[in-house]
Chain A
Amino acid sequence: MTFEGAVHKYGRDVDTDVIIPARYLNTNDPAELAQHCMEDIDPEFVSRVRPGDIIVAGENFGCGSSREHAPVAIKASGVSCVVAASFARIFYRNAFNTGLPIVVCPQAAHEVKAGDRVRVDVVEGKVEDLTTGKSYAADAYPPFMRELVESGGLLPYVRRRLATGDGA
Chain B
Amino acid sequence: MADNAHLLLCNGATLARAARSWSNAHTQELRTGDGGNVRIEIPLLAKSLSANVPDVFADLAEIAAFVYSADQAIARSGTVTFDYGDRWIRRLRFEIAVRCPDFWNQPEVSECLIEALGFMTEDAYEFRFTKNQTPIAFERFLGFGESNPEGIEKVMLFSGGIDSLAGAVEEILHNGKKVALVSHWPVSHLGSRQDKLASTVASRVSNLDRRPLHYKVLANKIGEIDHEHTQRSRSFLFSSIASVVARIFGIDGIDFFENGVVSVNLPLCEQEKNGRASRTTHPQTIHRLEELLSHVAGRRFSVKNHFLPYTKQDVVEKLATFGHADLLSESISCTHTRGFTLEQPHCGLCSQCLSRKFATAGANLDAHDPDSKYRADVFIGERPRTVDRTLAERFVGAAREIEMMTDRREFQQLFANELGRVTPYLPGANKDIVGMLFELHHRHSVQVGAVIEDKMKRNISSYRQGFLARTSTLWFAFELAKGGAASDNGEPQVGGHRDGDIREQVGLLNEMQRCILQALLEKDVTDPEIDELPSQRMVAEWAGYPYDTSIKNELTALVKMQLLGNGKQHGRRGGYYLKGRGVQAAKLLCEATRAGFKTFSGR
- A and B interact physically: no
Question: Which residues of B are in contact with A by a Cβ distance under 8 Å?
Answer: none
